[in-house]
Structure 1
Amino acid sequence: MESSVATWRSFEGLVCDILEANNFDVRTNSVRGDPGFDLLADFGGERWAIEVKYYRTMRAQPTLIDAAAARLAHNGLTAQAQKGMLIVSCFLPVKLREALEQKFSITFVDQVDLRNWCVTSPDLAAKLDALLESNPSEPQAIHPARYNPIGDSKPLRGLAPQVRDTHGTELCEELKKIKKGKTSWAKYEKVCEKILKYLFPNDLHGWHAQMRTDDGLNRYDYVCRVRPTTEFWKFVIDHLDSRYVLFEFKNYTGEIKQGQILTTEKYLLERGLRRMAIIMTRVGADSHAVAMTQGAMREQGKLMLIVNDEKVCQMLHMKERGEDPTDCLFEIADNFLLTLPR
């Protein structure tokens, strides 16, 4: 979604401004994508490889940060940088930061450090707080942090050989190879299950398969219990009053229609604390189906998000890069609700 692009890009642009205000000579890395990192910068006669990660969830997610740090350490050495820096929008507890810096020999900068770097620039501080929707008077924001993290920075060094996570790419390719239509329905369901368990290992529990008969086929959907580990799942619990989420797998050759939406809606139960469904489909939904999802939300408070192959693969690649795939779901839901007609 365009809003998703704008959020991380705005954060990256603001980080560049903050770095330049602190005497870094910053330029965009010409080697984008994989392998790569976001920025190259010169400071104190040394070249820095810098990766910027925007997370909606303010609590640090160690597995994602670990994956991002491993990629940066490797890519920085490949680019012959002397130092590495991973800048994250979340809060890094002191012990976690120390453990990560010891492991990767790169500098970690979190939201607190960025705010401290803005001490002489109230305008940049205000932009940072607005972008992160944070309050500088909150306890986390005034948690003691090093004023100048780069003062303790260490040279990049080679890491022990690590098995690079390519599982997301492999699952994306496996998904794309599945033929659309009835003959491949069971295979599609199995791959979708593997994808969901890779993307959300700590977020969803109690996987329960339900057999149902639609279109003359025996099919399965899944109901999972939600844990409030990220901003998206907190939103589902707190604002939708849904402790459970329904996953539907629709391997249709074309766009799904309003009949398929109506079928899914019947499985959402207000008193069963099941008010949300994520519908995985190959090529999305037609306008009538979208209108029906809007009506279900407007009239009954039931949220149904339609996620096609493109979005699924986007989340898989995000997970590989150390980004939070639930941020993609948050943006899909945010866009759906912002554009909900009367």
Structure 2
Amino acid sequence: MVLNHFSITPFPPGRDRGFDFLGTLGSDTWAIEAKFYRTQRAQATLIETAALRLNHRGVTAQATKGMLVVSCYLPIQLRLQLEKDFNLTFIDGADLANWAASDPALLSELQSLLETSPDDLSQVRSSQHPPVLSGKPLTEASLPENTEGSDLCKELRKLGRGKKHWPAYERLCERILRYLFPNDLHGWHRQKRTDDGLNRFDFVCRIRTTTDFWQFVAQHLDSRYVVFEFKNYTGKIKQGQVLTTEKYLLEKALRRVAIIFSRDGADKQAIIMTQGAMREHGKFMLILDDDRVCQMLHMKERGEDPTDCLFDVADDFMLALPR
């Protein structure tokens, strides 16, 4: 296909090449990556991660130029710094709105995808800083790619289950949470409890409303704090374990949300109990198995927002909530 004078070749599904499209413009080949973020505010660390990955993968693919397209809005100073650091062209939500403005149907589709109002798009269309295609050849950035997300996932997969490995599981979950949400949570208050005869710890953290998901938790679920629990059982957790967590959620303490790490998720009766807790008491519990945790780890490593995954899980839960 040809877009804005680019000839675009999408890759077939399968092996991750580190970017989404290969573009051709004149004699240049472009490695092009697109990142969708629910949160419109630019999260610099995520974008830097995505840019570094694109830079390395583009050089490996022998592309002569690179372009990172993001759905959020980049302040001009951040854009200029990113261009300098990673030798890429950056296209943000404002640029996409500018380009789509001449096609009402395309603009409407973009607005629906980004979940923005017409007023939002009319403001960003007045941007005084349109993107400039990089005239510099793509050269490899000096920083190495970060593989911490993949490393943590591998460690999680290898860790044993049951009482013997409970302390190691708690320590690993803490490292995972600090990697996934370094700017989203504050306090990291440990609470010692006894559950099924096993002494263990969980965390209570204060939420910083840095992303759409945490804003949803604070504003719509009326919870300023979130509980994290780690259940290293050999199978799916049952309703008894969910009941223990529910009793720890307190409306008057503004602590109405829990995120439970469980190796294999929860059985049917446990899920029914989480639904009842939400429907009857407004207590919201998300249960994440190893697959979902690894999904978030890989998202963070690619420069994507892991809280977008939490939002998807929350959406599925709310939409499926029975009467």
The interval holding the TM-score normalised by the smaller chain is over 0.9
Cα deviations by residue, 1:163-203 (Å, 9 ceiling, x for unpaired):
32111111111111111111111111110001000100000
Counterpart CA distance in 2 for 1:77 and 1:145 is 31
1:135 equivalent to 2:117? Answer yes
Instruction: Please report how far the alpha carbon of residue 45 of structure 1 lies from its aligned counterpart in structure 2 after TM superposition.
Output: 3.5
- Checking the alignment, whether the CA contact within 8 Å between 1:319 and 1:325 is kept in structure 2 is yes
Distance 1:22 1:163, change over 3 A: closer
1:314 equivalent to 2:295? Answer yes
Cα deviations by residue, 1:120-171 (Å, 9 ceiling, x for unpaired):
2211111000111102322752451444x2x442233323432321111111
The residue number in structure 1 matching 2:266 is 285
The residue number in structure 1 matching 2:77 is 95
- Checking the alignment, whether the CA contact within 8 Å between 1:315 and 1:328 is kept in structure 2 is yes
Cα deviations by residue, 1:263-321 (Å, 9 ceiling, x for unpaired):
00000000000000000000010110000000011111111000000010111111110
The residue number in structure 2 matching 1:215 is 196
Q: Which amino acid aligns with 1:213?
A: T
Counterpart CA distance in 2 for 1:154 and 1:136 is 34
Could you tell me which of 44, 49, 53 is aligned with 1:67? 49
- Checking the alignment, whether the CA contact within 8 Å between 2:63 and 2:138 is kept in structure 1 is no
Secondary structure of the residue aligned to 1:137 is helix
Counterpart CA distance in 1 for 2:64 and 2:118 is 33
Counterpart CA distance in 2 for 1:192 and 1:143 is 45
Taking structure 1 as the reference length, what is the TM-score of the superposition? Answer: 0.90
Q: Which amino acid aligns with 1:262?
A: L
Secondary structure of the residue aligned to 1:330 is helix
The residue number in structure 2 matching 1:121 is 103
Q: How many residues are matched?
A: 322
Q: Which amino acid aligns with 1:232?
A: F
The residue number in structure 2 matching 1:294 is 275
- Checking the alignment, whether the CA contact within 8 Å between 2:266 and 2:287 is kept in structure 1 is yes
* Structure 1 residue runs without a partner (length 5+): 1-15
1:244 equivalent to 2:225? Answer yes
- Checking the alignment, whether the CA contact within 8 Å between 1:242 and 1:274 is kept in structure 2 is yes
Cα deviations by residue, 1:19-71 (Å, 9 ceiling, x for unpaired):
x4423211113696554210011123321110000000000000000011111
Taking structure 2 as the reference length, what is the TM-score of the superposition? Answer: 0.96
Counterpart CA distance in 2 for 1:242 and 1:118 is 38
1:327 equivalent to 2:308? Answer yes
Distance 1:319 1:117, change over 3 A: same
Cα deviations by residue, 1:309-334 (Å, 9 ceiling, x for unpaired):
00101111111100001110010001
1:57 equivalent to 2:51? Answer no
The residue number in structure 2 matching 1:4 is none
Q: Which amino acid aligns with 2:280?
A: E
The residue number in structure 2 matching 1:229 is 210
* Structure 2 residue runs without a partner (length 5+): none
1:163 equivalent to 2:151? Answer no
- Checking the alignment, whether the CA contact within 8 Å between 2:51 and 2:86 is kept in structure 1 is yes
Counterpart CA distance in 2 for 1:262 and 1:143 is 53
Distance 1:27 1:35, change over 3 A: closer
The residue number in structure 1 matching 2:27 is 45
- Checking the alignment, whether the CA contact within 8 Å between 1:105 and 1:157 is kept in structure 2 is yes
Counterpart CA distance in 2 for 1:120 and 1:140 is 15
- Checking the alignment, whether the CA contact within 8 Å between 2:95 and 2:125 is kept in structure 1 is no
Q: Structure 1 stretch 179-188 or stretch 35-44: which is displaced more?
A: 35-44
Secondary structure of the residue aligned to 2:119 is coil
- Checking the alignment, whether the CA contact within 8 Å between 2:185 and 2:207 is kept in structure 1 is yes
Instruction: Please report how far the alpha carbon of residue 247 of structure 1 lies from its aligned counterpart in structure 2 after TM superposition.
Output: 0.4
Distance 1:335 1:26, change over 3 A: same
Q: Which amino acid aligns with 1:134?
A: T
Secondary structure of the residue aligned to 2:113 is helix
Q: Which amino acid aligns with 1:154?
A: G
Q: Which amino acid aligns with 1:170?
A: D
Cα RMSD after superposing both structures: 1.6
Could you tell me which of 82, 95, 98 is aligned with 2:64? 82
Secondary structure of the residue aligned to 1:95 is helix
1:22 equivalent to 2:4? Answer yes
Counterpart CA distance in 2 for 1:74 and 1:31 is 21
Identity in percent: 59
Secondary structure of the residue aligned to 2:32 is strand
- Checking the alignment, whether the CA contact within 8 Å between 1:249 and 1:279 is kept in structure 2 is yes
